[in-house]
Amino acid sequence: MKTISFMNKIIFLPRLQRERDKFEHLLNQAGFLRQMTMAGVFRNLSIKDLLADILSREQFIADRLSEVLHGESYAPCTSYTAFEDFQKINGYPDYESPLCHKEKPDHLVTQKYKRISLDDIVEQELAAYISIVSAMERLTQNQCLDHDLFHRVAEHTYRPYRHASMEIQRWLKSIETELK
């Protein structure tokens, strides 16, 4: 999507918030804790698992934004050893590495969050999102463009929201059908 490269913060931040609002609205529709932890939303994953995956992607980009703010550089992992070490150190995969399967939730991430309560995941995910917005507000337009941040932030926030939303909506419809 090339139009994102011509984006600015005045357009991007409200778009990000709109996408976030839509995602939160859907989560509120899904409702009850029991439904949030039921497997089968996407393969054998629950909404909680999908939210943990989103948390890890948001934390990934929040950390990259912090690096940009502090003048640090990031280079995607190009070897399997570096890729594995990155995940051990950070607790999430190097989502921008060519070695990462970006389209599906990472098994190690979902396993890491299995024993963590839904409330804790929601709290951590919200903190990661707030960190992203805060960093984006502090970054200059040139920093955003130099580091392709409009595209990168979209890749790790609202694109996963959309993907998870599609799976959640499909699952909710299947439950509705079963109840009839």
pLDDT of 7 higher than 80: no
Is the Cβ–Cβ distance between 55 and 125 less than 8 Å?
A: yes
pTM: 0.91
102 contacts: CB under 8 Å, gap ≥ 6: 95, 155
Predicted pLDDT at 87: 94
Q: Which residue range is the domain that position 88 belongs to?
A: 2-179
Work out the percent of the chain whose per-residue pLDDT is above 90: 72
Closest to 30 (Cα-Cα) out of 56, 54, 51: 51
Q: Tens digit of pLDDT for each residue in 49-60?
A: 999 999 999 999
Residue range 133-142: mean pLDDT, rounded: 96
In whole angstroms, give the CA distance from residue 13 to residue 142. 16
Q: How confident is the model at residue 31 (pLDDT cuts 50, 70, 90)?
A: confident
Number of domains in the chain: 1
Over range 94-118, report the average pLDDT: 90
Task: Please indicate whether residue 124 or residue 28 has the higher confidence score (pLDDT).
Answer: 124
Mean of all residue pLDDT scores within the chain: 90
Q: What are phi and psi of 13, to 5 degrees?
A: -60, -45
Q: What is the DSSP letter of 151?
A: H
Q: What is the pLDDT of residue 5?
A: 47
C-alpha 20/C-alpha 6 separation (Å) is 21
Assign residue 129 the CATH number of its domain.
1.20.120.450
pLDDT at site 33: 52
Please say if the pLDDT value at position 112 is more than 80: yes
pLDDT > 60? residue 2? no
Please determine, for residue 32, whether its predicted confidence score (pLDDT) is greater than 90: no
pLDDT in tens, 155-170: 999 999 999 999 999 9
